[in-house]
A and B are shown apart, each in its own frame.
Chain A
Amino acid sequence: NAGVIQTPRHKVTGKGQEATLWCEPISGHSAVFWYRQTIVQGLEFLTYFRNQAPIDDSGMPKERFSAQMPNQSHSTLKIQSTQPQDSAVYLCASSLRDTGQLYFGEGSKLTVL
C-alpha cells in the first residue's frame, strides 16, 4: 500500500496561469478530501468526495477553484488564473468513510510568483 500519492510535490506558476494538482487515494477508500495549509490560515478544508460524488465544497473559493474525481483512483484540484494568495501547500487525504481516520499525502506546494 503506497498511501495517498500527490503530484506534483512542488509547482511554481506565474500569476494568471493555471495549476492542476493530482491526488491518488488509497485503494478502497471511499472518501477523498482536499485541504490547504498556509501559515496565516492554518489547515483549511476545501472540498470532499464520497464514492466520486462531490459532497461538500463549502471551503472552495467560489471563483477559479474546481475539483473533480473522474474515477475512484484519482482526484484533481484545478486553480485557474492563479494569484499569489493561492500559494500554499495543498493536501489530499482519503478515508474509508467520511468520518473515519484520514490518511494524508505529502502535499503539493504551490508557489505563485
Chain B
Amino acid sequence: GMPVEQNPPALSLYEGAESGLRCNFSTTMKGVQWFQQNHRGRLITLFYLAQGTKENGRLKSTFNSKERYSTLHIKDAQLEDSGTYFCAVSNNNAPRFGAGTKLSVKP
C-alpha cells in the first residue's frame, strides 16, 4: 500500500484561533484531496490539489509532491469547523486515506 499519515490525530482550538493539519505520504503522489466529515458522517470536499496552493475563505491548503506532504490551514476557527479532517492521496490508482485529524472547536 501507500501509507498516509495525518498529524495531529486530534486537535482542540478555541474560536478565532488558527492551526495547521498535516498529511505525510511515503511516495510521490499526483494529487491530494482534503475532506471534512461532519457529525452526520458526510464527507465534504474542501480542496483537490494536483500542485501548489489553494485558498477558500478561512481555509488554505498546500501540496508538495516532491517533499511528500500536504497541509490544511484553518484560521479564525468557528464552531462549525468541528469534525474530522481527512486527506486522500492518489498516484495513478485509487486514492488512499489517512486516519484523520479530529478537530474540536470550543467557544
Interface residues of A (CB under 8 A from B): 33, 35, 42-43, 45, 48, 55-56, 89, 91, 98-104, 106-107
Contact = CB atoms under 8 A, between A and B. Distances in A.
Interface stretch (B14-22, B55-63, B73-81, B89-97): B89-97
24 contacts: A33-B94, A33-B95, A42-B97, A42-B99, A43-B88, A45-B97, A55-B93, A56-B93, A56-B94, A89-B41, A98-B92, A98-B93, A99-B31, A99-B91, A99-B93, A101-B33, A101-B45, A102-B33, A102-B45, A102-B88, A104-B43, A104-B45, A106-B41, A107-B41
Nearest to A99: B90
Nearest to B88: A102
Contacts of A56: 93-94
Interface residues of B, number: 22
Contacts of A42: 97-100
A98 B90 CA distance: 8
A5 B91 CA distance: 26
A48 B48 CA distance: 19
A91 B98 CA distance: 16
Contacts of A103: 45
Nearest to B30: A99
A43 B30 contact: no
